[in-house]
Structure 1
Amino acid sequence: MKAARGSVVSKKGVPWGTIISVVAVVALAAVVVTYYLVQSAPKRALASWAPTADNPDPSLNIPGIVTGQYQASVHILPTERVAYDHSPPYGGPHDGYWAACNGVVYPVAVRTENMVHSLEHGAVWIAYNPDQVSGDALNTLKSKVEGKPYTMMSPYPGLDSAVSLQSWGHQLKVGSATDERIDQFITALRTNQNTYPEVGASCDALGAGAFDPDNPPPFDPTPPGPDAKPMDYQGSAGTQQDTGMPSSAPTS
């Protein structure tokens, strides 16, 4: 009897099928976890750049960031220009009509005074030098804008860097479309309620007769003339207000 029992045990052998199945499941789980960690790494890295109560403006830690303080709601007429203090500007007097900024990629340079108004609404504007950015680099920038709310992009002839990012009171210039600081800037400042004046304002297109994204007012590359409005200008009478109603007095 003992010999018979020993023979049965020996026939069972090692459960290789079970072992192989377990190993396969463990290996598959490892692949899935590794894939997740690799794919989610950029998002996890950017999480630290999102504004919080303890860190309301994380962009201040981005190397190269430039900031300034500007008065809001100072409007000029569509026929007027502003002698901005930076190029591209990132605050100051601006047109009463904002540029559409809900994921719009403008193929041509757009009038600066309209673009600045969008910054006041919480948008991020990616400007690029068309002589330096094209092909894959241009597509990389487009992927950060297309379909993204409160984001817009346009060429900016004569720009002194490859790419320049603007939000209200903030600017960052970089030499490459793949610079990691671009995503840091967008994460920290797009609709960051701590950094722009008109929280809740629209970025939608205004349409023909106001600002038509399909036929936007063109960028003027010439230096502003002596009649351009200074940075401390208090606003023009009759300008369109953010409420959609024309003003009968200068804005202050």
Structure 2
Amino acid sequence: MANGTTGKKGASGKAAVKAARGRSVVAKKGTPWGTIIGVVLVVCLLAGVITYYMVKSAPQREQKSRDEAAASFAPSASNPDPSKKIPGVITAKYEGSVHVLPTERVAYDHSPPFGGPHDGYWAACNGVVYPKAVRTENMVHTLEHGTVWIAYNPDQVNSDQVAQLSARVKGKPYTVMSPYPGLDKPISLQSWGHQLKLDKADDPRIDEFIAALRTNPNGVYPEIGASCDALGPGQFDPNNPPPFDPSKPGPDAKPMDYKGTTGATGEQGGMPSGAPGGQ
């Protein structure tokens, strides 16, 4: 009997030890909350990065689609000025290389102007989006070099529309954008001798106009191959450009048939005389 009892107690003790070991193993294999939280945080971070990228890159991705849709308006030898097929485009003939002094104004025949006498220093126009309105006489000079200038009325165009317009300009050569207070339409596009006024930033004619006229090599603008780079302080500083003058030009303003001011900056090969590389 004693041995039987001892045997039972021994078996019971072994079972208890085994159960205790089992509970210890279960405890050691508990839920790895630290790892799970870490993985969740990484996933959330990646999701945030992807969402941020998708939101920030949306204007550029949308613009790529617009550019592709407007590709058929690129100029060719058989179709030298495709802008003639764009509804709303108006045209005029202007003489190039007629310069005025930085202190002089021009009585332009359109607002915004798209040709005529202009300052000898051009505004930097290689994909520049100016946050404030810039002196008109400098902006007109950019058109002479083959640029498309997008002007907008800051009182009629909201921030989303500004972003849509900016996507057409930022980082793109021979393209420039600026506010134009008092504009009679929300948006106006200018190239030398061409203008198109519009109501909405998603209008496909914006992209057609740019495709047809920016650096169009078929005699559409006077100075093919001229620079659009920044000239710098003392000439035209894009970080501190001459401001827009909203007042009506006075009686001393130069007329559209003006032949140029003696001593005004001239150009040789797209560079103003006196500038580095100019004559």
Task: Establish whether TM, by shorter chain, passes 0.5.
Answer: yes
TM-score for the superposition, normalised by structure 2: 0.73
Of 223, 227, 230, 1:202 maps to 227
Of 77, 84, 92, 1:60 maps to 84
Deviation at 1:167, TM superposition (A): 0.2
TM-score for the superposition, normalised by structure 1: 0.80
Give the root-mean-square deviation of aligned CA atoms.
1.5
Q: Count residues with an aligned counterpart.
A: 209
Distance in 2 between the 1:239 and 1:70 partners?
19
Deviation at 1:45, TM superposition (A): 2.9
- The aligned counterpart of 1:228 is 253
- The aligned counterpart of 2:210 is 186
1:98-117 equivalence runs, <5 A: 98-117=122-141
Structure 2: which amino acid aligns with 1:186?
I
Of 157, 160, 175, 2:184 maps to 160
- The aligned counterpart of 1:32 is none
- The aligned counterpart of 2:266 is 241
Structure 1: gaps spanning 5 or more residues: 1-37, 247-252
- 8 Å CA contact retained: 2:130, 2:177: yes
- The more displaced of 85-94 and 135-144 is 135-144
Distance in 1 between the 2:168 and 2:209 partners?
12
Asked if 1:176 corresponds to 2:204, the answer is no
Structure 2: gaps spanning 5 or more residues: 1-61, 275-279
Larger Rg, first or second structure (1 or 2): 2
Structure 1: which amino acid aligns with 2:108?
Y
Distance in 2 between the 1:240 and 1:42 partners?
39
Query: Which structure shows the bigger proportion of residues in helix conformation?
Result: 2
Deviation at 1:163, TM superposition (A): 0.4
Deviation at 1:39, TM superposition (A): 10
- The aligned counterpart of 1:76 is 100
- The aligned counterpart of 1:143 is 167
Deviation at 1:134, TM superposition (A): 2.0
- 3-state SS, counterpart of residue 227 of structure 1: coil
Cα gap change, 1:116/1:63 in structure 2, threshold over 3 Å: closer, same or farther? Answer: same
Distance in 2 between the 1:196 and 1:205 partners?
20
Deviation at 1:242, TM superposition (A): 1.9
Structure 2: which amino acid aligns with 1:240?
T
**Sequence identity percentage:** 70
1:123-134 equivalence runs, <5 A: 123-134=147-158
